Amino acid sequence: MDVSKTKSSFYRRLYVAWLIDSEIASSVPALIEATGMPRRTAQDTILALADLDIICAFEQEDGARNHAGQYRIRSWGAIDKSWIGRNLASIKQVLGYP
């Protein structure tokens, strides 16, 4: 199945936001483990969530060093989070994620 770069990028952002919000993968190492994506792709995807008006903030652990903490979704903007959950299997299939 041929998927446009625009669609795969959009789905990747939705999936990463969903993983963060579900607390399945709320750090870059956890995203890498859950998806197999390269570190830079994970980092860039988190930054790109703002383009969809998804507000994602990093919360550093109290007293932690070296940026230890996790990401949290503060707002989904116009995105319907429940749609992602209902379409998770097809999103993962398009992206080729486990």
Q: Quote the pLDDT of residue 60.
A: 86
Tens place of pLDDT per residue across the chain (98 aa): 688 999 999 999 999 999 999 999 999 999 999 999 999 999 999 999 999 999 999 998 776 666 678 999 999 999 999 999 999 999 999 999 98
CA-angle at 71, arms to 23 and 25, nearest 5°: 35
Q: Quote the pLDDT of residue 66.
A: 66
Burial of 63 (0-12, 13-18, 19+ CB in 10 A): exposed
Q: Quote the pLDDT of residue 61.
A: 78
Sign of the four-CA dihedral 1, 5, 22, 42: positive
Q: Quote the pLDDT of residue 69.
A: 87
Q: Enumerate domains of the chain plus CATH numbers.
A: 5-91 (1.10.10.10)
Q: Quote the pLDDT of residue 29.
A: 95
The verdict on pTM exceeding 0.85 is yes
